[in-house]
Amino acid sequence: MRASRADNARMSPAPTNAPARTANFDVDTLRIVIHGARGRMGERIAACAESDGRCAVAQRIDRGDALALRTGDADAVLDFSSSEGAARAAEIAESLGCALLVGTTGLSGAALGMVGRAAGRVPAMVAPNTSLGVAVARRLAAEAARLLTGFDIDIVETHHVRKLDAPSGTARSLAEAVGRGRGTALDPARIVSVRAGDVVGDHEVAFSGPGERIFVTHRATSRDLFALGAIRMARWLAAQPAGMHSPDEWFDDLVRGRG
């Protein structure tokens, strides 16, 4: 059934006059809004938040649900939904005056534009992968690409059959790290995507040279890995000033003991 204009008004967040977020926002118990709450990742984030004494779910929202919170009622919106859902999550974060962490991949230009607009008032991040291990793998891949001059570099990523975007956001982020390390972009033809079974997520970067091969491999065995990582990233993000932030910034602070 198509929603009425009144229903659509209730589902849309109200504009906010809250000032743009500044740095050093004090986060004790992180209050999160889970957007895409009935999805697999949304459910795992909720479960992991319940077992975290420093995290509370302020509201779970999915398609068609009305926002029941007001400005100041939450510290971060975590979105794992769809491209259209990410755009709405950006509106919600802006209306609440809180951080926005988008873990949805395959975002449209329109969705990215909405996230960018929200970043004008709140701290925002698009994180194709919230795993600490993937952050480390990106650094290793960049350094290997820098050191292994003349080696062929290939990326193979495998996910479950229901994953729509290919290559995955993680594979693209690994390719970006390789390009940064080597100084030239990786040919997209050297990224292979496999969709099979119920694989959570496997990524392998292969460096092939004369007489030897080196692999940087990450295998995810549970979605809790990403849920816990998303909560950890959101806690860091909520303490940042308004603007667009990156997983690399978070990882740099983590290495310095501030992540």
Strand-pair partners of 205: 155, 216
**Which residue is listed with tokens 């006059």?**
17
Residue 203 bears catalytic tag: no
The CB density around residue 35, as the number of other CB atoms within 10 Å, is: 32
CA pair distance 246, 226, nearest whole angstrom: 16
DSSP summary character for residue 217: E
**Extended strands (E) in 97-136:** 99-102, 123-126
Contacts of 4 (CB under 8 A, 6+ apart): none
CA pair distance 56, 51, nearest whole angstrom: 9
Q: Which of 35, 159, 218, 245 is catalytic?
A: 159
Residue 35 bears catalytic tag: no
The CB density around residue 214, as the number of other CB atoms within 10 Å, is: 15
Binning the chain into helix, strand and coil, the percentages to the nearest 5 are 40, 25, 40
The two counts, helices (H) then strands (E), for the chain are 8, 10
Q: Which of 35, 160, 163, 218 is catalytic?
A: 163
What does each C-alpha distance from 84 to 62, 70, 134 come to in angstroms? 12, 22, 26
Strand-pair partners of 244: 124
Is there a contact between 11 and 66 (Cβ–Cβ < 8 Å)? Answer: yes
Amino acid symbol at 253: D
Q: Please give the positions annotated as active site.
A: 159, 163
